[in-house]
Chain A
Amino acid sequence: MQARDVFSFSFSAIKLRKLRAGLTILGVVIGIAAIVALLSISQGLQTTITNQVEKGVGANTLVVTAGKNGFGASGGLSSGSLIPSAPTSLSGTASAPILYLNYTSEIQTLSPEINTVVAVVQQSGFIQNGDKVIQINGGIVAVNFSEYVNTYGDTFKAESGTIPLNPSENDIVIGQRIHDPEQNGTIFADINNQVNVIWTNTTQLPYTNQSYTGTVVAVLPKIGGFGISGPSDTGVYVPITKAQSFFGTDEAASIIVTLKNSDNATITSVSKLITNYFDNQVTVTSAADVSSTISTLSSTLNLFLGGVAAISLFVAGIGIMNIMIVSLIERTREIGILKALGMKSRTVLAIFLGESVIIGLIGAVVGIILGWVLSNVVALGFSAASSGITLTPILTPEVALLAVGFGVCVSTVFALYPAWRASKLRPVEALRYE
């Protein structure tokens, strides 16, 4: 019997029991759709996160923070430790390692691979325009504007106004969500506005609010995402000279180092140079570090969700086995006739497997489509719920192929036993079956 005839015979059997076949297919559809939706969402999420991280940190950027307890652990736990090898050791009596603004020039000399070094001073505070006050979530960030432009040229640029490279002390650059906090056209502050920057000094008791009035000279474009370092939508940017006078400190929250190359070898070697230079009292974080941490997390999540989806596919497989056994019993006589007409056992096997492969294929194709629709709906919901981050689900051909392969595999494996039993039926008994 020719393969095409086997296939069309299988198909005629499926067509006879449309509702039953439909329900069985639905089982496969749900399993496949779940897998496709989960994989494409998580792949999209991973890409979004990686992009955001690289936008926030920069692929060729290292963030140096004090302390050796990982990213953001600026209040190091190694109590009483100084930074002994820092030549201009101004660490004083502080109990935790401290980064100073003038370390930038020392770091600059460490390697010819280093492009720019910029120190960032950051404090929390409020901004006031007229009678309205909002909290500055991204912090009052004091930086050298020209160095910062060199480092974050992609994001630290003016959407309106201009960022002065030699700013006067009271110049202020604001992020998009300070300009328009709700992103709905209700402007809080615009260029040429006189605004009050308010800082709560918590270094001595009693706490006092200090403020000064500055002029908004530029508004940043919408950046979105994860402001791990680098400009953020909710930041207020002031010249570094202002930090020293206003905050009264030489302490940097972090030092941003950009490299001439963003390959792993350069990142690793420069990271090591910096950590060694500060005798392991600092942490150097790269975009790759953050991305890989997130990747590890998301692949663990993938595995878990994939497992859940696989269970639903397994259940679908049992459904297929069930329907095939029922079908086998119903069609015992038919199998007897086919064998009496000279059909070989392996052709009977092929007919039954063919039915389940058709079910698996239809289920997989519909499942991929449904999963894709589902992931887009979820992505829309996610994008609407999270401000500024758009999630685009990604369906790679590999995932689609995997889904089809999975659907066909599951349906074939679970149909093997019923098909084998059908092929082993003895014609004499099968013909006698009522």
Chain B
Amino acid sequence: MNNEIKKTVVEAVDLKKTYTVGKIPVEALREANLRVESGEFLSILGPSGSGKSTLLNLIGALDKPTSGRLLIDGVDLSTLNDNQLTGVRLRIGFVFQFFNLIPRLSALDNVELPLSIAGVSRSERRKRAQQLLEDVGLRDRMNHKPAELSGGQQQRVAVARALANNPAFLLMDEPTGNVDSKTASEVMALVKKLNSKGVTIVMVTHDQHLAMEANRTVKVLDGVIASDMVN
């Protein structure tokens, strides 16, 4: 979380993704070019079917581009096999619309999960997970299961989990899409606070107002980047 030295965390050059639905090829993304520097708070805005989800999956290293170059934290995804792609995801902090916590694990265990995947020792990850939950204001909810938490609390657990491995950036997919407006503003306040502390944030949304909360907004339309402007 060093924003003194500017570092490119995402770099997309002529990024193209084509899906084949039945026998018809569908161009979900056509020649997208994008650059995200560390410390930025960027929103990717677009209606459904615009290709923003495809862009999210690519930036999240969940999928590989059909052509073009994509560098995540300096690593070129096109040269990686599936296993190596998985390794890249350890450097990305996912926050999903539906929280996607593991229901049978407590908040603490959920936050520990990415640390355990990364092979961090038990005592160390416990300490770190407790600190992260404290940072998002859930100190007294650590041992609760997701079902025992409100939507806003679940999303805060998800944010804590995303931050666990000190990722290059947080990748948020409609982070307020599944909570009420009051909770939404709380979540956004947390996101902004994190950004002010130097966490790079890429937020994908279809909500114009939400997108304006970011420092910079990239609009995706019909598989191309229609505009890229500082708010």
Which residues of A are interface residues toward B (Cβ below 8 A)? Answer: 1-2, 5, 9, 12-13, 15-16, 333-334, 336-347, 426-428, 431
Contacts and interface: CB of A to CB of B under 8 A. Distances in A.
Given A428-B57, A428-B62, A431-B62, A342 B118 contact: yes
A394 B100 CA distance: 53
A130 to B, nearest CB: 81
B86 A1 contact: no
B119 A2 contact: yes
B117 interface: yes
6 contacts: A1-B116, A341-B90, A342-B86, A342-B90, A344-B87, A346-B83
A210 to B, nearest CB: 88
Given A1-B116, A337-B102, A341-B94, 14 more contacts: A2-B119, A9-B116, A337-B96, A339-B89, A340-B60, A340-B62, A341-B89, A342-B87, A342-B88, A342-B89, A343-B86, A428-B57, A428-B63, A431-B100
B44 to A, nearest CB: 17
A334 B57 CA distance: 17
Interface in B54-109: 57, 60, 62-63, 82-83, 86-90, 94, 96, 100, 102, 104-105
A342 B105 contact: no
B175 interface: no
B117 A1 contact: yes
B102 A334 contact: yes
Given A341-B114, A342-B90, A428-B57, A1 B119 contact: yes
Contacts of B87: 342, 344
Contact of A338 (B104, B117, B165): B117
Interface of B: 57, 60, 62-63, 82-83, 86-90, 94, 96, 100, 102, 104-105, 113-114, 116-119, 122, 161, 165
B105 A345 contact: no
Contacts of A426: 63
A15 B105 CA distance: 11
Nearest to B121: A2
Contact of A345 (B83, B90, B104, B116): B83
A341 B83 CA distance: 13
Contacts of B118: 1, 342
Contacts of A2: 116, 119
A343 B113 CA distance: 10
Contacts of A344: 83, 86-87
Nearest to A348: B86
B117 A431 contact: no
Contacts of B62: 339-340, 427-428, 431
A431 B94 CA distance: 12
Nearest to A346: B83
A55 B212 CA distance: 97
- The 6 closest A-B CB pairs, nearest first, are A342-B90, A342-B89, A5-B116, A341-B114, A337-B100, A427-B62
Nearest to A424: B82
B83 A13 contact: no
Contacts of B114: 341-342
A128 B105 CA distance: 83
B29 to A, nearest CB: 13
Contacts of B90: 341-342
A94 B109 CA distance: 93
Given A340-B89, A345-B83, A12 B105 contact: yes
